[in-house]
Structure 1
Amino acid sequence: MKITHVEVHRIDVPAADPPFRWRRGLAGSPPVGDGAVLHIGTDEGAEGVALLARPGAAVTLRDLVDRVFRDELMGADPFQREWLWHRMWELDRIHELPLPTLGLIDTALWDLAGRVTDQPVWQLLGGFRDAIPAYASTSTFDTTEEFLDVADQCLALGYRGIKLHAWGDARRDAALCLALRRHVGPDVPLMYDGSAGFDLPDAIFLGKALAEADYLWYEEPMREFSVSAYRQLAERVDVPLLVAETSDGAHMNSADFIRAGAATFGVRASTTLRGGVTGAMRTAHLADAFRVRAEVHGSDIPNHHLCMAISNTTYYESLVTATTVVRERHVDDQGLVHAPTGPGIALPLDYGYGAELRAFVEQPR
């Protein structure tokens, strides 16, 4: 079997309704954007797809396919995912590929393999579980009262924990974290994500408050350029650290965080930011060797599969962006997410696909 075509399909990614925001300094939810689907086909009819839903995705991905990826992939064996994954890293040395595109081909090839074998990808990866608890991962709301009300709604809907994305002000965020712990009591798992908003002194201040409130993990308080800064943070706070979400290098970079003693809870694993399915599984196995967690990042469908395949992950991350909470469709009333059952990875059908592509997604060939 050989790859015979590599295509990019532009799609409209709908705007969030209502719009939401993140901490100060970061953009909020975008308006309608031009997402893209990467489509890889073969001489035997086997096909695989992967979604890139970020704003500007169609322009970025079409340029990379036309200029770099198509020539590299044409004629290749789609089952040689390991070889092609290494080739993407070789290409990155010169082209400096955008991080979300580095694993996109790998994800599409895993989708193709699942369709050919008529298995969901999580089973191809070995399969560890068929259900996992979900936590509610908030966007940023205006007031402490809104955060507390959202937490009440999430717990009533069955979510098993709450993760805060707050304002990016160390003092104000610390007060919110303490208030949430008092509000929900001692038994609800709580997490905090700093979205890289702090320097080391503020990260230490906030980390001490999180330790006092017994938070399960403290995620990405600083930009992940300095492993040394994270090592110093780990030495000064007792709350466990979850790190290496957006830093380049997939498992290679994650190894440095773990070796430095900075990943005291664990590292992030995701198809989008850690080199596709292959990179995410490398990261998980690395973390397991050091007996730390590889927490799956994000709510998209490839990461849904990862949650079922990785032994050392704890939760599915379910984004909650409105003050009136609606439980994500994958999460049941017990707060559980169940394993996908269809072949491959599949794509979400609540995007504005063209009719031809939609038919392909609904009825894989």
Structure 2
Amino acid sequence: MKITHVEVHRIHVPAANPPFRWREGLGGSAPAGDGAVLRIGTDAGVEGVAVFTRPGAFAALDDLVDRVFRDELVGQDPLQREWIWHRVWELDRIEELPLPTLGLIDVALWDLAGRLHDVPVWRLLGGFRTEIPAYASTATFATVEEFLDVADQCLALGYRAIKLHAWGDARRDAALCRALREHVGPDVELMYDGSAGFDLPDAVYLGAALSDLGYLWYEEPMREFSVSAYAQLARAVKVPLLVAETSDGAHMNSADFIRAGAATFGVRASTTLRGGMTGAMRTAHLADSFRVRAEVHGSDIPNQHLCMAISNTTYYESLVTATTVVRERHVDANGLVHAPTGPGIALPGHLDYPGELAPYVEKLA
């Protein structure tokens, strides 16, 4: 079996309704724009797809396929995913590929393999579980009162834990974290994500507050360029650190965080930012060898497969972006996400563009 065609299809990604925002200094939800579907086909009639919905996705991916990927892929065996994964990293040396594009080919090839064998990808990856609890991962709201009300709604809808994305002010965020702990009591798992908003002194201040409040993990308080700064933070606070989400290098970079003692809770794994399914599984196995977690990042169907395949992950991340909470459609009333059952990655209606992808794109917006 050989790859015969590599195509990019334009899809419309609607704006979030209502729009939402992240911490001070970061943009909020993206306006409506063009997303992309990568489609890889073979002479056996089996195809695989991956979806790319970030702003500018279609223009970026269409250019990369025309200039680089198509010539590299056509004629290759689509089941040699390891070789192709390494080849993409070789291309990155000169191209400096955007981080989310490093795993797109890999995701499409895993989808292809699952369809070929008529099994969901999480089973091809090994399979560990058939369900996992979801946590509510908030956007940034305007007031403490809004956060507390959202938390009440999330718990009533069945979510098992809550993670805050707050304002990016260490003292104000610490007060919010304290108010939430007092509001929900000691038995609800809470987490905090700094979205890389702090320097080391402010990260230490907030980390000390989270330690006292019993937060499960403290995520990405600083940009992930300095492993040394994270190692200093790990020595200064007791709250466990979850790191290596947006840093380049997939498992290779994650290894440095772990070796430095900076990943005291664990590292992030995701199809989007850690090199597709292959990079995420390498990251998970690396973390497991050091007995730390590999928490899956991202609220989408490929990452549901990862959650079912990785033994050392705790929760599925479910975004909550509005003050009137609607439970994500993949989360049941008991706060559980169940393993996908369709072959491959099972994106809805993946062979027709753009109409039948609308439910998936709407969910990602």
TM-score greater than 0.5 by the shorter chain: yes
On the 8 A contact 1:8/1:39 being kept in 2, the answer is: yes
Cα displacement (A) at 1:346: 2.3
On the 8 A contact 1:168/1:198 being kept in 2, the answer is: yes
Inter-CA distance 338–357: structure 2 relative to 1 (3 Å threshold): closer
Structure 1: where are the runs of 5+ without partners?
none
One-letter amino acid matched to 2:180: L
Q: Which residue of 2 aligns with 1:96?
A: 96
On the 8 A contact 1:128/1:308 being kept in 2, the answer is: yes
Q: Which residue of 2 aligns with 1:281?
A: 281
Cα displacement (A) at 1:347: 2.1
Aligned partners of 1:236 and 1:356: how far apart in 2?
Answer: 51
Q: Which residue of 2 aligns with 1:344?
A: 344
On the 8 A contact 2:148/2:180 being kept in 1, the answer is: yes
Aligned partners of 2:184 and 2:30: how far apart in 1?
Answer: 32
Cα displacement (A) at 1:31: 1.2
Aligned partners of 2:16 and 2:144: how far apart in 1?
Answer: 22
Say whether 1:41 aligns with 2:41.
yes
Say whether 1:211 aligns with 2:214.
no
Cα displacement (A) at 1:356: 8.2
Aligned partners of 1:230 and 1:349: how far apart in 2?
Answer: 43
Cα displacement (A) at 1:186: 0.3
TM-score by length of 2: 0.96
TM-score by length of 1: 0.96
On the 8 A contact 2:348/2:357 being kept in 1, the answer is: no
Q: Which residue of 2 aligns with 1:200?
A: 200
Q: What secondary structure sits across from 1:51 in the alignment?
A: strand
Q: What secondary structure sits across from 2:49 in the alignment?
A: strand
Inter-CA distance 249–327: structure 2 relative to 1 (3 Å threshold): same
Aligned partners of 1:185 and 1:356: how far apart in 2?
Answer: 44
One-letter amino acid matched to 1:307: C
Q: Which residue of 1 aligns with 2:138?
A: 138
Structure 1, residues 75-97: CA drift from partner, whole Å, max 9, x if none?
A: 00000000000000000001000
Say whether 1:4 aligns with 2:18.
no
Aligned partners of 1:92 and 1:354: how far apart in 2?
Answer: 29
Cα displacement (A) at 1:14: 1.2
On the 8 A contact 2:242/2:267 being kept in 1, the answer is: yes
Say whether 1:255 aligns with 2:255.
yes
Structure 1, residues 205-248: CA drift from partner, whole Å, max 9, x if none?
A: 00001001100000000000000000000000000000000000
Aligned partners of 1:348 and 1:95: how far apart in 2?
Answer: 32
Q: Which residue of 1 aligns with 2:300?
A: 300
Aligned partners of 1:28 and 1:357: how far apart in 2?
Answer: 24
On the 8 A contact 1:12/1:353 being kept in 2, the answer is: no
Q: Which residue of 2 aligns with 1:173?
A: 173
Structure 1, residues 81-121: CA drift from partner, whole Å, max 9, x if none?
A: 00000000000001000000001000000000000000000
Q: How many residues align?
A: 358
Q: Which residue of 1 aligns with 2:117?
A: 117
Q: Which residue of 2 aligns with 1:106?
A: 106
Aligned partners of 1:39 and 1:128: how far apart in 2?
Answer: 28
Aligned partners of 1:142 and 1:292: how far apart in 2?
Answer: 34
Q: Which residue of 1 aligns with 2:241?
A: 241
Aligned partners of 1:17 and 1:356: how far apart in 2?
Answer: 20
Q: Which residue of 1 aligns with 2:152?
A: 152
Q: Which residue of 1 aligns with 2:325?
A: 325
Identity of counterpart residues, as a percentage?
84
Inter-CA distance 142–93: structure 2 relative to 1 (3 Å threshold): same
One-letter amino acid matched to 2:246: T
Inter-CA distance 218–357: structure 2 relative to 1 (3 Å threshold): closer
Q: Which residue of 2 aligns with 1:81?
A: 81
Q: Which residue of 2 aligns with 1:14?
A: 14
Q: Which residue of 1 aligns with 2:53?
A: 53
Cα displacement (A) at 1:354: 2.6
Aligned partners of 2:301 and 2:357: how far apart in 1?
Answer: 18
On the 8 A contact 1:301/1:348 being kept in 2, the answer is: no
Aligned partners of 1:354 and 1:23: how far apart in 2?
Answer: 33
Aligned partners of 1:320 and 1:205: how far apart in 2?
Answer: 27
One-letter amino acid matched to 1:337: V
Inter-CA distance 184–52: structure 2 relative to 1 (3 Å threshold): same
